[in-house]
Amino acid sequence: MTTKKILDKTLKEAISFLDKLDTISPNIPFNKTTNQELTEEGLGFKDTLKLFKSQYVPYISGTAGPRYFGYVVGGATPASIAGDWLTSVYDQVSPASQVASVHEKNTVSLLLDFLKLPKSFTGTLVSGATVSNMLNLAIARQWYGLELGLDIAKNGIYGLKKMNILSANAHSSSYKGLSILGIGREALIEVKTQPNSECTDIIDLEEKLKTLNGEPAIVLSSAGTVNTTAFDDFKAIEKLKSKYNFWHHIDGAFGGLASCTDDYSHLVDGWELADSITIDAHKWMNIPYDSAFQFTKRIDLQQQVFQNGNAPYIKDLGDFSLINLTPQASRRWRSLPIWFSLLTYGKKGYKDFIQKNCIQAKVLGDFIKKSEDFELLAEVNLNTVCFKVSDIKKITTQDFLESLNKTGEVFLTPTSYKNNYAIRCAICNWNTTDADIELLIKEMKNIIL
């Protein structure tokens, strides 16, 4: 089959899926392994697609659709899908091709502008916020070592005693980062949160910094925690730098997008002062997986950590040498889907859908607040709603959630918040309509009766 025929068929399949995405159940179980044998001759594309359509396509959940409210997932804008397709078509790799590297640099610049972050940050693209957090932690670790006269990139962590990592609300992925980097999960000293919130208690943070007696520290804060979308007081944290010596990393995987809005941008006030920031592209920016940003003000330290170094055949592209800035050597043209999406919809297009999701969260939050059947566990301050079934009801929150998900109309995920089994509804799809939220509320009412 010619390339054109293969791609025509693929386009047809893609359109047929996307056209019915809003009717596909957001949660279709699938655990069927097949004993597919690889044939000598190959099936040809037509039969391969046919096989795929019969064996897998019916089980593809509508997680990219408008009523998937679990975790923080998001869909993919049409323009980002186009960019993603073209990424494969061009199949560029740095440093063989300079255009992908330069384009990535330009795209990082676009995002800084979009999120109103200063150009003192540089950034790269990685596969997700987990890797972004890890990469930023690796830069922070290098800074930490140098504060003590140790070059960890060169000599490892052997000269260090247990590092001082402080956080009140680190995402689970940061613990993974600490593990990968040889710092250790247990190195994290838990700072208190404010009462009834997931925000860092600044007084407790200061007390813990004080006990370090001038030793360096890494402080991890949050621009949007996963349970309640809590935002730390970044200005207050930064103010502590006048007295204490620490690296400040902000995980803004989805919450960082608040910065592009009118009504919620105050939530990130002061984040521009941080040393490093994580933002996912594949969540609320609605870019296809795998895609996230990593920002730092210390590209020099990043180069020390990620220097690919001793391969004389690799061309050094200077500023654009992504091989010397990220964990990967060969990597896809990851900026293309983001660039297509940002330029197609512009600042306003993005802002409108982000704000729409926030209003939708508010509508759901208001319904829960007014209802005697449910209890809102945190004020809705962005795009997620954290709630439980009221204690006066016979049905448990867990059973309620199971029934709700069983409808196949919506999908929400559980969490644990302040010792409660709770439900989290994250609204982060460009395609979610007000009618989708009405449908969710209708299903909730049906089950709680």
CB of 229 to ligand PLP, least distance (A): 9
Q: Does 140 bind ligand PLP (CB under 6 A)?
A: no
Q: Quick one: 173 or 294, whose CB is closer to ligand PLP?
A: 173
Q: Does 26 bind ligand PLP (CB under 6 A)?
A: no
Q: Are strands 276-280 and 246-251 parallel, antiparallel or unpaired?
A: parallel
- Quote the CA–CA distance of 191 and 176 in Å, as a whole number: 18
Which H helix or E strand runs over 237? helix 234-239
Q: Quick one: 132 or 304, whose CB is closer to ligand PLP?
A: 132
Q: Quick one: 95 or 255, whose CB is closer to ligand PLP?
A: 255
**Do the beta carbons of residue 443 and residue 400 sit within 8 Å?**
no
Q: Does 198 bind ligand PLP (CB under 6 A)?
A: no
Query: Contacts with ligand PLP in 221-240 (CB under 6 A)?
Result: 226
Q: Quick one: 103 or 424, whose CB is closer to ligand PLP?
A: 424
- Quote the CA–CA distance of 245 and 19 in Å, as a whole number: 54
Query: Contacts with ligand PLP in 286-305 (CB under 6 A)?
Result: 292
Q: Does 251 bind ligand PLP (CB under 6 A)?
A: yes
- Quote the CA–CA distance of 72 and 104 in Å, as a whole number: 25
CB of 218 to ligand PLP, least distance (A): 16
Q: Quick one: 216 or 256, whose CB is closer to ligand PLP?
A: 256
CB of 214 to ligand PLP, least distance (A): 30
CB of 383 to ligand PLP, least distance (A): 11
Figure out which of the listed residues 173, 335, 381, 383 binds ligand PLP, where binding follows CB under 6 A.
Answer: 173
Q: Quick one: 72 or 336, whose CB is closer to ligand PLP?
A: 72
CB of 77 to ligand PLP, least distance (A): 17
Number of amino acids touching ligand PLP (CB under 6 A): 13
**List of residues 6+ apart from 296 with CB closer than 8 A:** 121, 122, 123, 136, 139, 275, 276, 277, 302
Q: In 93-214, at which residue ranges do the beta strands (DSSP E only) sit?
A: 122-126, 165-167, 188-190
CB of 133 to ligand PLP, least distance (A): 6
- Quote the CA–CA distance of 139 and 125 in Å, as a whole number: 15
Q: Does 332 bind ligand PLP (CB under 6 A)?
A: no
Burial category of 34 from C-beta neighbours within 10 Å (exposed 0-12, middle 13-18, buried 19 and up): exposed
Q: What is the DSSP string of 267-290?
A: GGTTGGGSSEEEEESSSTT-PPSS
Q: Quick one: 64 or 389, whose CB is closer to ligand PLP?
A: 64
CB of 137 to ligand PLP, least distance (A): 12
Q: Does 256 bind ligand PLP (CB under 6 A)?
A: no
Q: Which of 23, 57, 74 is nearest to 409 (CA)?
A: 23
Q: Quick one: 232 or 280, whose CB is closer to ligand PLP?
A: 280
Tokens standing for residue 153: 């990139």
Residue type, 16: S
Handedness of CA 272, 273, 276, 277 (dihedral sign): negative
Figure out which of the listed residues 137, 253, 380, 447 binds ligand PLP, where binding follows CB under 6 A.
Answer: 253
Q: Angle 284-381-362 (CA atoms, 0-180°, nearest 5)?
A: 85
Q: Which residues bind ligand PLP (CB under 6 A)?
A: 72, 128-130, 133, 171, 173, 226, 251, 253-254, 280, 292
